[in-house]
Structure formats: C-alpha cells, structure tokens
C-alpha cells in the first residue's frame, strides 16, 4: 500500500491502513509506503497492489466502470469517506 499527498500526515496514513487492514484477509501481508507529492494538491492518493485475488469485490465490475465505496470513519458521527475506488 502506498499513500501520497501534498501534505499527508502520519495519522491519515494510519487511518487508510486501518481501513485496508479491516477489509482484507487477516493473513494478507501489507507493506506500507508513503511520500509527499506537492503536485497532488488537495488529493490524497492510495495505491494498492493486490495479488492472488479472485473476488469481484477486489477485481471490480466487468469493464472499466468506476466504483465508489464509502467506508465509515472512526467517529460514527462523521459522514462516510468517499474512497473513489477505481478498478483497472
């Protein structure tokens, strides 16, 4: 998992890691990387490299449609995150 952003914080990277960890097989090996990329502006980019997946939840719908999934935040009073997940 690699997280990039113009001003990404450690707590943001940790939160993304929590969301990913909660939604993958408990035996999955997650290797974390992060960097500052000023060209991203207000965008926080997360890249996951996944191997051995055979679930439509991971592989996505047929074709190149985009899937938007919201994941509840740590504070249930907050609105769900728009993760804007795309499948290639």
pLDDT at 27: 86
pLDDT in tens, 66-80: 444 444 444 444 445
The answer, yes or no, to whether residue 35 has pLDDT greater than 90, is: yes
What domain count does the chain have? 1
Q: Is residue 42 part of a domain?
A: yes
Q: Is residue 22 part of a domain?
A: yes
Average pLDDT over the chain, rounded to an integer: 75
Q: Is residue 51 part of a domain?
A: yes
Q: Which two tokens stand for residue 70?
A: 């919201």
Q: Is residue 17 part of a domain?
A: yes
Q: Is residue 88 part of a domain?
A: no
Q: CB–CB of 41/6 below 8 Å? A: yes
Q: CB–CB of 46/15 below 8 Å? A: no
Domain that holds residue 29: 2-82
């Amino acid at each position: 998992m690699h997280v990039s952003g113009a001003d990404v914080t450690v707590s943001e990277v940790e939160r993304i890691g929590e969301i990913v960890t909660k939604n993958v097989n408990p035996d999955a090996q997650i290797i974390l990387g992060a960097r500052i990329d000023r060209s991203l502006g207000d965008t926080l980019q997360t890249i996951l490299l996944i191997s051995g997946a055979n679930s439509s939840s991971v592989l996505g719908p047929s074709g190149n449609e985009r899937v938007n999934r919201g994941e509840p935040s740590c504070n249930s009073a907050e609105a769900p995150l728009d993760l804007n997940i795309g499948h290639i």
